[in-house]
């Protein structure tokens, strides 16, 4: 069974540009969450989607947006990139929604903003 696939693995962008990251969850999983990981702030929650609906959103500016498609694949977009957006972006998929539901993480996309 294939795991969570995130593409691309590495990305270098210039300040002011926009970027789109992709996440394909485990087959059959309908919940996708996104996290940002930085040395300074640690792991921070960005969004959670279930059946194409955003269920929760973290405390990030409106430049960060996401969506989920009918096949459960998800994308997140960051517009007007800032140096501080450099981070490892992790996607997690879950079979369903529930407090004790296991989240399976992808290997992440390493974004560097120069």
With binding defined as CB under 8 A, does residue 97 bind other proteins?
Answer: yes
Residue listed under structure tokens 């210039």: 14
Instruction: Determine, following the binding rule CB under 8 A, whether residue 104 of this chain makes contact with other proteins.
Output: yes
Beta strands in 1-114 (DSSP E): 5-7, 10-13, 19-24, 31-38, 42-50, 53-57, 64-68, 74-78, 87-94, 104-105, 109-113
Work out how close the CB of 98 gets to other proteins at its nearest, in angstroms, rounded to a whole number: 7
Partners of 9 in the beta sheet?
none
Among 81, 108, 111, 113, binds other proteins (CB under 8 A): 108
With CB under 8 A as the contact rule, the residue among 19, 78, 90, 111 that binds other proteins is: 90
Stretch 23-62: interaction string toward other proteins, x if CB under 8 A? --------x-x-x------xx-x--x-x----xx-x----
Distance CA 17, CA 57 (A): 23
4 in contact with other proteins (CB under 8 A): yes
């Amino acid at each position: 069974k294939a795991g969570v696939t995130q593409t691309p693995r590495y990305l270098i962008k210039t300040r002011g540009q926009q970027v789109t990251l992709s996440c394909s969850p485990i087959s059959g999983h309908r919940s996708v969450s996104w996290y940002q990981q930085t040395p300074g702030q640690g792991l921070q929650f960005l969004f959670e989607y279930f059946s194409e609906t955003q269920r929760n959103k973290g405390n990030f500016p409106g430049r960060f947006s996401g969506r989920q498609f009918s096949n459960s694949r998800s994308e997140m977009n960051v517009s007007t990139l800032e140096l501080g957006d450099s981070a490892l972006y992790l996607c997690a998929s879950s079979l369903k929604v529930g407090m004790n539901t296991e989240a399976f993480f992808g290997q992440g996309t390493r974004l560097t903003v120069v």
